[in-house]
Amino acid sequence: TCSKSDCPKMSNTERTFIAVKPDGVHRGLVGKIIARFEERGFKLVALKQLTASKAHLEVHYQDLKDKPFFPSLIEYMSSGPIVAMVWQGLDVVKQGRVMLGATNPLASAPGTIRGDFAIQTGRNICHGSDAVDSANREIAHWFKQEEINDYASPFINSWVYE
């Protein structure tokens, strides 16, 4: 713990990997998705647009490689640009998942990203890490260390956190 106003509490340094999938980019939902995380009070520490290779996505989704939908998932995710982001804040991994909604958008509550903007699982517009361990693995897979901006935000430290 640190008393300086620009020094975040250790618990506020959790990070998660959030991505707008190709359908979200094509549908012009990038800004809306970013806005929800910004408005919640989380801190954006990395962002880039890229079209991911199948090999890169096969590693990202390595835990799903035996699933029947794996080939179509890799096809979908490599079909166009993705907006890849790292968001930081207290409990951001779990809160990010809540904000995304359920994997199947028809099971997602209105007010969640998928519940407001998507209908089918194979076009669910966004990705979010499901645990702190997978978040760390995914962040290292998508971003170089120098692409992540470790900056102080005194406003967030004082006015988002008590």
3-state secondary structure 68-128: CCHHHHHHHHCCCCEEEEEEECCCHHHHHHHHHCCCCHHHCCECEHHHHHCCCHHHCCEEE
Whether residue 12 is annotated as binding a ligand: the answer is no
Site for Mg ion in 128-147 (CB under 5 A): 130
Place of tokens 């990203």: 113
Q: Which of 17, 30, 127, 139 binds ligand UDP (CB under 6 A)?
A: 127
CA atoms of 56 and 77, how far apart (whole Å): 10
Q: Which of 12, 16, 95, 124 binds ligand UDP (CB under 6 A)?
A: 124
Residue among 69, 151, 155, 159 that touches ligand UDP (CB under 6 A): 69
SS3 41: coil
Quick check: is 127 catalytic? yes
Residue nearest to ligand UDP (CB): 103
Which tokens sit at 91? 């409990």
Contact track, ligand UDP, 71-110, x by CB under 6 A = --x-----------------------------x-------
Length of the chain: 162
Nearer to ligand UDP, 103 or 149 (CB): 103
Q: Output the six-digit token pair for 136.
A: 């760390």
Catalytic residue among 26, 56, 60, 127: 127
Task: Tell whether 97 is in a known binding site.
Answer: yes
**Does residue 114 contact residue 98 with C-beta atoms inside 8 Å?**
no
Interacting residue ranges for ligand UDP, rule: CB under 6 A: 64, 69, 73, 103, 121-122, 124, 127, 130
Q: Which residues are annotated as a binding site for ATP?
A: 21, 69, 97, 103, 114, 124
